Chain A
Amino acid sequence: MTSFSHQKYQDGQTQKPALTGHILSEIFPETAADAAAIGYLLWRLPRNDAPVLWVQDRLSHRETGRPCLAGLQMDRPIIMVNLSRAADVLWALEDGLRCRALAAVIGEIWGDPVALDFTATKRLMMRVEAANVPCWLIRRAASPNLSAARDRWRIASAPSASNPHDTQAPGAPRWSLDLFRSRQSKPGQWTMTYDRKTDRIDNITPFRDRAVGTDDGTARQRAVG
């Protein structure tokens, strides 16, 4: 399983986690027109040339546009599937997860459709773990209701780093990440700076001592979501 914890790194820099097993993750962008989630997701993709299956429903496409190839700057091909209903998106995602040649399967679903219930996410999760292909669900304008996703993120843009060449211009993008539910690791909140040239993200959250735990440390801690 992907064990991914940002606190481990003492120097404040986060390396790409070693991917041992892939999981189903959900991202809830703070606002619909916030592309920070896409940036973070692309950083998490496995480093290879395998194609990505990217499925969008109609509302996601209309409200937030399409992935812009010139801005993504990746060499891998994208197989883009534009569908109208959320049920079709889920069908396409499930079908894509039968194919091990893909680097990742990305789905964008708008709102809280009836088709996307706990059973649907459970099916997706089982497929992901059978095929070992990461699956990301981007859910805009949605409420984080019951779901079987292993990791659930809330991601928003933060004011960017200062630009070394121009004080007036935005610099390296910063994202505030909120892992509010996770099966494997401890939930937490971080603010990260993404360096595009070296393709790595740096944790800029100030470190401080944690509050003293009230439990005896034996029981495994679970997040509530």
Chain B
Amino acid sequence: MERQGNAPSDDILLVLAREGQHGPVVHAANRTARTTGITQGSRVVDMKAICPELHVEYADEAGDRAALDRLVLWARRWCPWTTRDGEDGLILDTTGSAHLFGGEAAMLIEIQTQLSLLGLTSRLAMASTWGAAWALARFGPARTICAADETALGLRALPVAGLRLDDATLLLLQRLGLKTIGAVMDVPRLSLTRRFVKAGLSSNPLMRLDQALGKLAEPVASVEAKPRFSVQSRLADPIFDPTPHLPDLCERLCEVLQNAGMGCRRLHLTVYRTDGDVSRVDVATSVSTRDPNHMHSLFRDKVERINPGFGFDLIDLTAGRVEPMQALQTHLDGKTSDDLDLALLVDRLTARFGARAVSRPVLRESHVPERAEGRIAALANPTQTAPVMTRERPIRLLDHPEEVRVLYAVPEGPPVQFVWRRQTHRVTRYAGPERIAPEWWRDKPGTRLRDYFKIEDQTGRRLWLYREGLHADGRGGEPRWFVHGMFA
């Protein structure tokens, strides 16, 4: 199946590329390109050598997969039992539903028409097994219908690639001279068993053949559409403030979630305005919840952001990021745990001040002080193990080191006197230097090294001072001095 949504005209040679082992390979090609001799899976540079005017675009494989997943649900219009088949196919279990569309042939035409209205090219076949339908759709005539007792006959003429085998096995069968499925059928069963006794399903022609002929069961496991958790409140007259309706909406939504055993991480409040516009606010929680009071409190400061226009008459509250949630009893006496309470606090802070304001600092593996600390979400667990710190570090660190004016410098050690924030500091004692070199894999060439000193001034304040660079290191002028932190 190919997407032809906004494709360029058919006379352009167009291929979609994906990253292969040795550079990009052809993922899909349009009809013109295929007739020129461009094959799937070959390298793009080779194909460009064949036709220099080839137009190459990158394939969006994840997007295609998501679109196919949506199409699986869309195909439920014809039968209730559908699933995705690999990267490019759909399997519909039409048992008992073909007569609703006037028979199997009429149903196939209907399916092809509807898919072409979506801008999709399709190849359809109907057979009694998954394997047979797969082979007939790809290698058989258009819209083949193969009855259960004719399956062996219908498959006999198809190439052996119709058995859903991997490339290595196909090559092996080709070397053995078995070109069609019929030829594989004619081989004595015992010798095939002996040859492929240890092979897995995707490289075992005998098992694939049995699947296609219905001797080996291959059930269709249908995927369930995710239920949408949403409650609405329809109003008799347009209003401007949704606040009075929120507690009721939250309670109803939580009841729906409770019945399904689910909790949600996002909430979308949408109001449908009388002038035909919609306005919406979203809130997020740090753990999944179905507590109506908590949901209501998250909206408390956000409702003002709704633009009511000339009023609205429909309020919709939808749960997003729904995940299964068990009611946990963490203590024997039935009390709730403290962690849950903490999650509520983080939610309240995040809802009011934004996700960027609330964070948790964690240690990172770096010697450069500003990179030794990262920020993660407040309730997340650090992914890396914290590095062991051997040298003393200050208790406060300035985001931007502040340059000091040196009054009295000596060749070794820190300056004897310097001015920082309009105050003169006289160094009475110092420890150091601790040299921290730039990280060559991250820093720009020309970044100067730093020599850190812990100094104490005349009043007892302990500062972390560093000299950037060395005298005559060829990376700029004279070294400069900065304050980077304070010790307790």
Contact = CB atoms under 8 A, between A and B. Distances in A.
B461 A81 contact: no
A223 interface: no
Interface string B458-470: 0111110000000
Contact of A34 (B348, B389, B455, B461): B461
Interface stretch (A15-23, A35-43, A118-126, A145-153): A35-43
Nearest to B346: A79
Nearest to B374: A69
A80 B339 CA distance: 17
B349 A95 contact: yes
A98 B342 CA distance: 10
B429 interface: yes
Interface string B83-96: 00000000000000
Contacts of B187: none
Nearest to B340: A101
A18 B403 CA distance: 44
Given A157-B460, A160-B456, A170 B363 contact: no
Contacts of B486: 33-35, 64-65
Interface string A36-59: 101110100000001101000000
B345 interface: yes
B348 A71 contact: no
B399 A71 contact: no
Contact of A70 (B373, B375, B398, B462): B373
B396 A67 contact: yes
A65 to B, nearest CB: 4
B393 A169 contact: no
* Best-buried of B363, B373, B398 by chain A (most CB within 10 Å): B398
B357 interface: yes
B463 to A, nearest CB: 8
A83 to B, nearest CB: 6
Contacts of A70: 363, 369, 372-373, 389, 393
Given A33-B421, A101-B341, A170-B429, A194 B373 contact: no
A173 B360 contact: no
A67 B360 CA distance: 12
B300 to A, nearest CB: 12
A91 interface: yes
Given A61-B399, A64-B486, A80-B358, A160 B341 contact: no
Contacts of A72: 395
Q: Interface residue tally of chain B, by bracket?
A: 35 or more
- Considering residues A92, A102, A158, which has the most beta carbons from chain B within 10 angstroms of its beta carbon? A92
Given A157-B460, A166-B431, A65 B485 contact: yes
Nearest to A95: B348
A159 interface: yes
A69 B376 CA distance: 13
A68 to B, nearest CB: 4
Contacts of B394: 35, 68, 71
**Looking at B373, B430, B463, B486, which has the most chain A CB atoms within 10 Å of its CB?**
B486
A218 interface: no
A169 B341 contact: no
Interface in B382-408: 389, 392-399
A68 B372 CA distance: 9
Interface in A171-222: 173-175, 194
B395 A71 contact: yes
B224 interface: no
A143 interface: no
B397 A99 contact: no
Nearest to B362: A69
Contacts of A62: 399
Interface string B409-423: 000000000000100
B311 to A, nearest CB: 31
A88 interface: yes
Contacts of B359: 79-80, 82
A51 B421 CA distance: 34
B488 interface: yes
A174 B460 contact: yes
Dominant SS among interface residues on chain A: mixed
Contacts of A39: 395, 488
A39 B352 CA distance: 30
Nearest to B353: A83
B378 interface: yes
Nearest to B413: A168
Q: Which of A81, A91, A194 has the most CB of B within 10 A?
A: A81
B139 interface: no
B141 to A, nearest CB: 66
B429 A169 contact: yes
Given A33-B421, A35-B395, A66-B397, A159 B456 contact: yes
A68 B421 contact: no
Interface string A91-128: 11001101111100000000000000000000000000
A31 interface: yes
Given A51-B342, A69-B362, A170-B431, A33 B461 contact: yes
B460 A71 contact: no
Nearest to A99: B345
Contacts of A92: 349, 353
Contact of A81 (B357, B363, B372): B357
Contacts of A79: 346, 358-360, 378
Interface in B314-366: 338-339, 341-342, 344-346, 348-349, 352-353, 357-363
A159 B487 CA distance: 12
A78 interface: yes
B430 A157 contact: no
Interface of A: 31, 33-36, 38-40, 42, 50-51, 53, 61-62, 64-73, 77-83, 88, 91-92, 95-96, 98-102, 156-160, 163, 166, 168-170, 173-175, 194
Interface of B: 338-339, 341-342, 344-346, 348-349, 352-353, 357-363, 369, 372-373, 375, 378, 389, 392-399, 421, 428-431, 454-456, 459-463, 485-488
7 contacts: A50-B338, A65-B398, A68-B373, A68-B396, A69-B372, A70-B373, A163-B431
Given A79-B359, A81-B358, A157-B488, 7 more contacts: A33-B421, A35-B394, A65-B485, A68-B373, A96-B349, A159-B456, A160-B456
A-B interface, 6 closest residue pairs, ranked by CB to CB distance from nearest: A39-B488, A101-B338, A169-B431, A71-B393, A68-B397, A35-B486
